[in-house]
Structure 1
């Protein structure tokens, strides 16, 4: 490689890297909200069900084929960087390109050609309506595989900027193209109905039925925006790598030992990736289980106990949904909307998992017990500070938040009921993500897989049993998710402490954020109720969230929950520490 175009990129500390990814994820989630929320209004719960079905098939295939490799690349690159083996780092990149090209093509083929058998089994009512969205999403699996090459490589070098910027590019394209295409498809269908009383050549009884007929294609249009986003995200990473390289200079390569045989690197990469991929598959099979069993079990209820279900949702479910046998899709769409909010919390801590892996790997490779303990406690403390108030807030303010974001026409009371459970589950799901990353960093890549497999089995049993009870129905999926992630998080933390041979400070890590969260969420509950009584409407929810944020920060400073070492790892950390020390707000 030409040394003239090699740009040295300094390593980022754990918190610096996490902060970069957190800012990126925050922007991605804001953009995602600007995509998902208007889309929910456009598609309605039925169309959102078609949208969710495509992702339910996509995630397990993508996870099995490629999800383990970015983490494996990151871990091996970080390990070789700590040892100064820069030729091995370059070789890892070369090997990963060949692997991902092959896996991307295979994964695309499985999704595209497996679409019909999947919908025939998973979607009991009108399975053909779920196909367009799946076909539109299939190419994204190939381009996301290619993106994973570069994201894992740069994360291992502790340069989080390429991952962060590519995610923002991807999200922006999804927003612009997805909403535009979905809106145009529905507009076109309704224009045809207004002119001839038909949609795609078929006679429709009313404008409501005409819009329902456009929903499978509108969902496909929205999801094609996701595919376009994956193309632009890959193009950005490819151009970035060509222009900036990886910061490894010719001098560093000359000083590096001879690389291990390519076959050895390939085998090690695959062996490291397989258990991680299986763990990721288990996580994404959770969505697959929700999609498949939730719809099938609700369809069973509609066969034997339809009056109980229809009676429960008579005030929120349109009559056309019942007549067209779309009740399972409607309720799955409500669950998908609740899951979108649920996933906001784990998405934030994903940044800590990505940033923690190379940091903890380096400490583990160096064999420094104090650094290992400090690194692990920093991750846990900061994750707890973010996840506990966010999850409790989602649970306590579930229906007001659903009403604020999705509007009255998207069954906010149903979404809110589900979100009570999923909000609590979000705490444990979000905590388990970085804990599993740290288990992988200390060499136990098998443990997350085993724990996730057991958790998944618990979820499967609970989903199938509880969703089939007419009085519980969709709430059973929320219960299964909550219990599943409680199990995973508790046992993953236990094994992490055992493997790393550390004892963590539970009071400073968990108890202080929990106490502050309870205080702020309780205040938010009463602020929201008071605002509603004063006639502020949806503004009362915004005031409640703002009040909770302010009270939480005050409580955390009062409890001195922040740690000096943690803050020092932030950009401008010394200045922040001086401010906090001046007011005696830091330990």
Structure 2
């Protein structure tokens, strides 16, 4: 079992979980400050921002971690340092250019979004909010190269901590600023949304400060490795960036694929909904899909994202050394743990969709229906992230480009007709089909290239599936009993029901996993020693 993979994944996943959890929880008070109709303006800013950010970063954290890990595995620490020094300038330039592009493209994007005069937001309001968020692009790319270099040196903590601090600072600015704008200055909630998206820039500056402190902490260690390293290999800057750019194209696609799916919804959903007479509600429905429920659905995905970030340098190291056993062991471990943790979270969201939506936002049958329909797609999001990371680690970049674009093509072709037939669920179905096709091709390529077959993993996944069915039944009947006793009457009652059902789910799933020995096999010797003391099977 790869201790580097487990440790790196744990650090990154904990940081991502806290960051995602905070990113969800702050929406509750912000939703209360600006209201359901105005919060939709927020997502119109963040989708084009995420696209511009992915292009600006150009997959830097993962691409650079792969490059550095490769040369470190050969004992050449000087080449990685050489990339780091020149990359800082490249990222600064990239940030400025992407800021300018997004700032001046804001109005054309707004025209793509507004398809009917019956819609809630004006062209000017959508343009303004996109321009305010664009300032964050001046700082975020610089963070990305530092994170990538540190991850390539197996230093995962700085990425995790800086993301967390960045998120905390951003949220504090969003909530305090939003409250002051609306309740103290008595300005429009839409003005508060402008201020809220600008908070991304302030959060990024805080993240940079954290990374600088970590850099100073690790500097003596890096200097020692650099001093013991042979002179940087005969890799010219042109060759070096050619190699990195070769990595970055698939990295960009992986980083940008989810925002691209959302962007397709953003520019097609309103037009399709208007054509079937639903222009008055299209902004609100799109907000439910692309912002309110999407934030909840992405919580289970953070497990896969943590694996992806930690997996690439580990897989690259094994692949460079031609260590087939190490590769197989890492893949076995990844697929099992990811699905073991992700599937029960998804099932929980489906069963408790009404209670989750009521607690987080407000009671809304449409919103909770969207959450229940959207939740299963999280498994596909996670599998795409992990399988793409594996392909990146074994230098099959062209396949990532092919599968990403193929899935996206299906989304583009199917989106409008499915929306016209099934409204919001049509957009969800088009996303699921696109991701399923991409994941299917990725898995096929991995199995062919690495000759990867694992009956043990298949048996374990069947066992995980059985445990999830049992857990699903237990939680379902627990909720039915609670609702029969008293229907949900407010946010606190909804939260109470979520907590009771989650407790039942964790106890049932945990007991089955421990009694069967599955959890011990997945999470290693330390858990085995603890569970033996508690009387569970090892």
TM-score by length of 1: 0.85
Q: CA deviation at 1:251?
A: 5.7
Alignment partners' CA distance in 1, 2:225 and 2:378: 47
Distance 2:380 2:360 in 1: 24
1:274 aligned residue (249, 258, 269):
249
Which one has the largest radius of gyration? 1
The answer to whether the aligner puts 1:545 opposite 2:496 as a matched pair is no
- Aligned-pair distance for 1:282? 2.9
1:216 aligned partner: 190
Rounded Cα–Cα distance in structure 2 between residues aligned with 1:430 and 1:282: 12
Match of 2:265 in 1: 290
Give the total of aligned pairs: 522
Q: Distance in 2 between matches of 1:399 and 1:504?
A: 39
User: 1:38-187 alignment to 2 at 5 Å?
Assistant: 38-124=29-115, 125=119, 126-187=122-183
Aligned to 1:28: 19
Offset, 1:188: 4.6
Aligned equivalents of 2:377, 2:242: Cα separation in 1: 37
Give the alignment's TM-score, normalised by structure 2: 0.92
How far, CA to CA, are the matches of 1:251 and 1:355 in structure 2?
22
Alignment of 1:169-568 (within 5 A): 169-188=165-184, 191=186, 214-245=188-219, 247-250=221-224, 252-259=226-233, 260-302=235-277, 309=278, 326-335=280-289, 336-408=291-363, 412-469=364-421, 472-505=422-455, 506-535=457-486, 537=488, 538=494, 539-562=496-519, 564=521, 566-568=522-524
- SS of the residue corresponding to residue 247 of structure 1 reads helix
Give the CA deviation at 1:12.
6.8
Q: CA deviation digits over 1:273-324, x for unaligned, max 9? A: 123213433332011112221122222223xxxxxx5xxxxxxxxxxxxxxx
Distance 1:12 1:47, change over 3 A: farther
CA contact (8 A) 1:119 1:131 kept: yes
Aligned-residue Cα RMSD (Å) equals 2.1
CA contact (8 A) 2:520 2:528 kept: no
Q: Tell me: CA distance 1:137–1:97, structure 2 relative to 1, closer, same or farther (3 Å).
A: same
Following the alignment from structure 1 to structure 2, what is the Cα–Cα distance between the partners of residues 327 and 163?
A: 40
TM-aligned CA distance change 1:225 to 1:27, over 3 Å: same
Give me the whole-angstrom Cα distance separating, in 2, the residues matched to 1:66 and 1:558: 46
Question: How far apart are the structure 2 equivalents of 1:523 and 1:431?
Answer: 26
Deviations 1:438-470 (A, max 9, x none): 11001112222211111111122222112123x
Whether the 8 Å contact between 1:346 and 1:429 is mirrored in structure 2 is: yes
Cα deviation per residue 1:461-520 (whole Å; 9 max; x = unaligned)? Answer: 222112123xx2122111112222222222222211222222123424422222211211
Residue by residue, what CA displacement relative to the aligned partner does 1:178-216 show, whole Å, maximum 9, x if unpaired? Answer: 011122222256x4xxxxxxx7xxxxxxxxxxxxxx232
What SS does the corresponding residue of 1:484 show, helix, strand or coil?
helix
Distance of aligned partners of 1:520 and 1:246 in 2 relative to their CA distance in 1, 3 Å threshold? farther
Deviation of 1:339 after TM superposition, in Å, equals: 1.0
Where does residue 6 of structure 1 map in the other structure? none
- CA-to-aligned-CA distance 1:236-285 (integer Å, 9 cap, x gap): 21232134327324365334243322332122112221232134333320
Hey, what does 1:210 align to over in structure 2? none
- Per-residue deviation, 1:26: 2.0
Q: Distance in 2 between matches of 1:540 and 1:581?
A: 32
Aligned-partner Cα distance in 1 for 2:449–2:39: 43
**Aligned mates of 1:358, 1:561 — CA distance in 2:** 27
Retained in 2: the 8 A contact 1:524–1:548? yes
5+ residue gaps in structure 2? 489-493
Partner of 1:158, secondary structure, is: coil
Give the conservation status (yes or no) of the 8 Å contact 1:61–1:107. Answer: yes
Does the C-alpha gap of structure 1 residues 251 and 134 become closer, same or farther in structure 2, counting only changes over 3 Å? closer
CA offset digits 1:27-58 (Å, max 9, x no partner)? 21232223122222323332221101111111
**Cα–Cα, structure 1 residues 83 and 274, in superposed 2: closer, same or farther, change >3 Å?**
same
CA distance in 1, matches of 2:318, 2:195: 46
2:491 — aligned with what?
Answer: none
8 A Cα contact 2:24 2:296, kept in partner: no
Return closer, same or farther for 1:54/1:105 CA change in 2, 3 Å cut-off: same
Give the SS at the match of 1:503: coil
Structure 1, gaps ≥5 residues long = 1-10, 192-198, 200-213, 303-308, 310-324, 569-573
* Residues 255 and 241 of structure 1: CA distance in aligned 2, closer, same or farther (over 3 Å): closer
Q: Could you list the runs of 4 or more consecutive aligned residues of structure 1 that deviate by over 4 angstroms after TM superposition?
A: 581-584
CA–CA distance in 2 between the matches of 1:329 and 1:215?
A: 16
CA change 1:187–1:511 in 2 (3 A) is same
The alpha-carbon deviation at position 231 of structure 1 amounts to: 1.4
